[in-house]
Amino acid sequence: MTSRFSKKTLRASLVAIAAASALVLTACAGGSGGDATDEPAAADQGLMTPGTLVVGMNLQYKPEMFLDDNGDPAGYDVDLLNALADEMGVKLQIENLDFNGLIPGLQAGQFDMVSVGLGATDERKKVISFSRGYVPYATILGTPASGNLGSTIDDYNQKGVVITALQGSTSEQLGKDTFPNATISSFPDQNAALLEVASGRADAVIVEDYLMADFNKANGDALVAADLAEPLSLYYGSWGVQKDNQKLIDILDGFLCKSQEDGTLADLYTKWMAPTAPEFPAC
């Protein structure tokens, strides 16, 4: 077959092949411009677009993740993601969506991962995969500061009691499981669920303690935690990843263990969430 080409044509073809090979090698290099032996090649990081980490978030949970006065993403998750992107040598791209659109969006390939402190429930594990835990949550029962119904689960597990929660969240399911006799009223916005109780239109709200604390800062301590014997739940939120993307999961887990061991997680937690950082799961 080669004999049908002139020498000039053959030389031109070899130059084109060499140029194409150089482009492929360039595309596979790490996004930070550093030595390729110092970090995983972008093509090996499990990203949809090499060199860019696309993250789905719902930026309404101050201080964990929110939009600051300039309209820029801020908070615990955002600082941690910036550190992750630096570690990976990639550009961070945040997509801000309604909470209920995050898991379907991840399934549809709109993002590489979701950062919103997801609980790794059995139901969610059927459709997406999870990193190790990166943020601890104590879920409590918030009640009006002016008065509440009692200090036991049974006091609230009554017909006619209205308890609010964020729609599609683990808190919503926790409410249905813990208070089957009460009415669980779900809202697509977390503040709406809190305001329903603060205004007296509902009896209690199932919410993470740090979210209620932040709400109270802007609403005159309108809510208090019901004096139950223990939190409704204590769990660790995780990053959600496209199903079975083990390459990216391994990178995330390695980064989180490193951040836990060098104190980054504790520093960011005390910066944004609470004065004292709780124990994180052992690596």
Domain boundaries, the chain: 42-136+237-272, 137-234
Q: What is the pLDDT of residues 163-198, one digit of tens each?
A: 999 999 989 999 999 999 999 999 999 999 999 999
pLDDT value of residue 43? 54
Mean pLDDT computed over every residue of the chain? 86
Contacts 24+ apart (CB under 8 A), 90-94: 90/30, 90/31, 90/32, 90/42, 90/45, 90/47, 90/51, 90/52, 90/53, 91/31, 91/51, 91/52, 91/53, 92/53, 92/55, 93/52, 93/53, 93/54, 93/55, 94/55, 94/57, 94/59
> Does pTM surpass 0.85?
no
For 70, counting Cβ atoms within 10 Å of its Cβ (0-12 exposed, 13-18 middle, 19+ buried), the class is exposed
pLDDT value of residue 9? 36
Which one-letter DSSP state was computed for residue 220? T
Q: What is the pLDDT of residues 220-279, one digit of tens each?
A: 999 999 999 999 998 899 999 999 999 999 999 999 999 999 999 999 999 998 777 878
CATH 3.40.190.10 fits 42-136+237-272, yes or no: yes
Q: Is the pLDDT of residue 80 over 90?
A: yes
CATH number, domain 137-234: 3.40.190.10
pLDDT value of residue 234? 84
C-alpha 46 chain-centroid distance:
18
What 3-state DSSP class applies to 35?
coil
Q: What is the pLDDT of residues 109-153, one digit of tens each?
A: 999 999 999 999 999 999 999 999 999 888 999 999 998 999 999
Question: CB neighbours (10 Å) of residue 47?
Answer: 21
Domains 42-136+237-272 and 137-234 share a fold: yes
Radius of gyration of the chain (CA): 24
